[in-house]
């Protein structure tokens, strides 16, 4: 059993190395020394993660300390709720996995009594909710057009993993 796990981990490393070499030119902005192969298997097909935090002080602290867990199977999107003053100063950031219905509330609203603003955005994809929405141009429901219409080639999938790992290091690390 142990040797099987090791074998699988080794295979993953080899795959990542192959992908890294074959795409060196295209992906030279990624620091490959920072990349460690995922040690866990995906819990189910199409599984993904979101930055997840509850009323963090600001976006940095949300991303920095966000939980690293898979989203539940009944969710498909990552949601961000940004609460800020009329001067644009962040009051709180909340991020979570979301179902499609949750995402119908994207957009910006002004609180009548505090005159604070709240912008909500949704996106689709592995830890896609990096930034916070600040106005109507980015407080949107960003769905991927081609997602899962057919199974992407293995290489693309591995690259996506690398890219998201790189992003999570960049923004969370």
Site of interaction with ligand NAG (CB under 6 A)? 134-135, 137-138
Cα separation, 23 vs 33, whole angstroms: 15
Q: CB of 100 within 8 A of CB of 77?
A: yes
- Give how far Cα 31 sits from Cα of 56, 85, 131, 167, Å: 28, 36, 21, 10
The residues with which 107 forms a beta bridge, in sequence order, are 120
Rounded to a whole number of angstroms, the minimum distance from the CB of residue 115 to ligand NAG is 17
Chain position whose Cβ is nearest to ligand NAG: 135
Instruction: Pick between residue 69 and residue 135 the one whose CB is nearest to ligand NAG.
Output: 135
Instruction: Pick between residue 34 and residue 135 the one whose CB is nearest to ligand NAG.
Output: 135
Instruction: Pick between residue 15 and residue 167 the one whose CB is nearest to ligand NAG.
Output: 167
- The H or E element containing residue 166 is helix 154-172
Burial of 30: CB neighbours in 10 Å, binned 0-12, 13-18, 19+: buried
Q: Mark out the alpha helices in the chain (DSSP H runs).
A: 2-22, 59-65, 154-172
Instruction: Pick between residue 97 and residue 132 the one whose CB is nearest to ligand NAG.
Output: 132
Rounded to a whole number of angstroms, the minimum distance from the CB of residue 47 to ligand NAG is 30
Rounded to a whole number of angstroms, the minimum distance from the CB of residue 5 to ligand NAG is 44
Instruction: Pick between residue 35 and residue 131 the one whose CB is nearest to ligand NAG.
Output: 131
Burial of 171: CB neighbours in 10 Å, binned 0-12, 13-18, 19+: middle
Rounded to a whole number of angstroms, the minimum distance from the CB of residue 87 to ligand NAG is 13
Phi/psi for 131 (5° steps) reads -90, 165
Rounded to a whole number of angstroms, the minimum distance from the CB of residue 90 to ligand NAG is 11
Under DSSP, the state recorded for 104 is G
């Amino acid at each position: 059993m142990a040797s099987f796990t090791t074998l699988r981990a080794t295979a993953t490393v080899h795959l990542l190395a192959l992908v890294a070499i074959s795409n060196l030119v295209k992906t030279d902005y990624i620091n490959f020394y920072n990349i460690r192969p995922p040690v866990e298997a995906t819990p189910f097909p199409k599984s993904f993660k979101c930055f997840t935090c509850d009323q963090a002080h600001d976006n940095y602290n949300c991303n920095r300390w966000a939980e690293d867990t898979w989203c539940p199977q009944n969710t498909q999107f990552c949601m961000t709720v940004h609460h800020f003053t009329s001067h644009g100063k962040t009051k709180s950031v909340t991020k979570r996995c979301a179902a499609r219905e949750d995402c119908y509330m994207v957009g910006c609203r002004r609180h009548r009594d505090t005159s604070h603003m709240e912008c909500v955005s949704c996106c689709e994809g592995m830890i896609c909710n990096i930034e916070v929405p600040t106005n109507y141009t980015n407080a949107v429901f960003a769905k991927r057009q081609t997602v899962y219409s057919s199974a992407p080639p293995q290489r693309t999938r591995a690259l996506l993993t690398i890219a998201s790992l790189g992003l999570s290091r960049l923004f969370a690390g």
